[in-house]
Structure 1
Amino acid sequence: MSNSEGMSTQTIKLFRTSDHACSYLAERQSRTLFLDPDLRFELPLYEELTQSGFRRSGKHLYRPDCQQCNACIPARIPVHEFINKRRFKRISKANSDIRMEIMPSKVRLEDYQLFERYIEQRHADGDMYPATLAGYEDFLAVNREFSFHIRFFVQGQLVAVAVTDRLISGLSAIYTFFEPNLETRSLGVFAILSQIELCKKWSLPFLYLGYWVPGCQKMQYKIDYQPTELLIDGQWQCIRRDT
């Protein structure tokens, strides 16, 4: 099904999928609204759609559009209000030996091999298993003017990659993968902390984290970063909880 909606930047065409199994909540059905895949969207439209709850996956911009469920809630961190609690300070200290570099979004064999190990050991029950180079390129190595990779090294060894987009209002954390045998470093958390610091350095007010899904354990980490802003009824609302 398709429809057209007038945005302030341009008129766009949106498509809706049929119902399919939800990847977040068991025994629920979901459907997805996505931007015309033939449209090469530019940054202003990407920013505007992000403000209304869309997310990028590879070449596509999408958001959940389920008939009887609104559990997927867009979340972002207002970085200048971020509370760097003791747990986060411990993780930063544990990774003080890490060197970071920012590189264009593209396929690198070293990155893909790390991604392959990560999927095999951490997500063998997911829809990205088994990892393929073509799937990796389509999902995480789309080369656009707003996309880049933050690469993390320990003594010259690549240990994590954070795929990130630079929007007008902030950074969008698209996906992070890391060395699965280094669990004690909490590299996923460290990647988010690093993106928060990068937002501050570049004077960007928000880090977008994608969807928080109450009831989905693997998404609970997104409200560990306080305060959190959630997009509820079309308005970004600041949610604070005990830290």
Structure 2
Amino acid sequence: MTDRVRLFQTLPHTCGYYAERTAQNLVVDPGAPHLDRLYGPALTKGFRRAGGHLYLPQCGACQACVPCRIDVEHFVADRTQRRCLKRNADLTIEEALPGFTHERHALYQRYLQERHSGGGMDAADAEDFQRFLTAPWSPTVFLEFRQGSRLVGVAVTDVTLVGASAVYTFFDPDEAARSLGTFGILQQVELAKRRGIPYLYLGFWIAGHPKMDYKRRFRPLEIRKHDRWIPMP
């Protein structure tokens, strides 16, 4: 990031992780030229993409959201993760172009209705799908998981020279036994390895939050504190 890039702070809003807390984000000027070139450096500073926005939590009374990333070169799957890979050995993985298709959207809707009912996203239409998961400037790949011809999961992945970012994963809610969320991260690690990318960014980790605890299992994991990346204890 440079002093020639404008940063904006959002108005206070309800926190997506703790309903009783108020949150604010620091956002890179969405009208800035060459956002594609800014994306990699922004990742290294802890920013994350949602739709066409690069943001970083900037909450005055709370610093719970901590950026985290997997050291791809030194990552070794643990026993549980190896079992996950074995359970899904019947799936094929394809690096596909990003964007809306009726097949993807139908799966996305089923996932949101089952996993995030009442969360405000479960009625996402085609425009919502496109706006949230993609951006015109973003180097995005959709990793598709198929059992035969049937689409069972999609891991939305942004790919830059300095790091890949696990943006969002959605999958068939009837396939919960496959642990496709974990499988998605493992496939994103493999994508990064194939392309010689050093890190897979997992967004934010929150100590003690049940929806974030799974990230601790991908070792070695680094967290960003005091403007530098350090190994997670």
The TM-score range, normalised by the shorter chain, is: over 0.9
Q: Is the 8 A contact 1:150 1:163 kept in 2?
A: yes
Deviation, 1:39, is 2.2
Aligned twin of 2:64: 71
Moved over 6 A (4+): none
Deviation, 1:145, is 5.5
Equivalent pairs: percent with the same residue? 39
Aligned twin of 1:229: 222
Q: Which of the numbers 121, 129, 132 marks the counterpart of 1:136?
A: 129
Deviation, 1:156, is 1.0
Q: Is the 8 A contact 2:43 2:163 kept in 1?
A: no
CA distance in 2, matches of 1:55, 1:110: 27
Q: Is the 8 A contact 1:25 1:216 kept in 2?
A: no
CA distance in 2, matches of 1:47, 1:170: 7
Letter matched to residue 187 of structure 2: S
Aligned twin of 2:213: 220
Q: What is the TM-score of this pair, normalised by structure 2?
A: 0.95
Letter matched to residue 125 of structure 1: G
Letter matched to residue 150 of structure 1: L
Aligned twin of 2:76: 83
Q: Which of the numbers 103, 107, 110 marks the counterpart of 1:114?
A: 107
- Where in structure 2 are there 5+ consecutive unaligned residues? none
* 1:144-186 CA distance string (max 9 Å, x none): 4511111110011000011111112121110000000001100
Coordinate RMSD, CA, aligned: 1.4
Aligned twin of 1:194: 187
Q: 1:144 to 1:98 in 2, by over 3 A?
A: farther
Aligned residues: 233
Deviation, 1:30, is 0.7
Q: Which of the numbers 199, 207, 210 marks the counterpart of 2:203?
A: 210
Q: Which of the numbers 7, 10, 16 marks the counterpart of 2:9?
A: 16
Partner secondary structure for residue 73 of structure 2: helix
Letter matched to residue 167 of structure 1: T
Q: Which of the numbers 32, 51, 56 marks the counterpart of 2:44?
A: 51
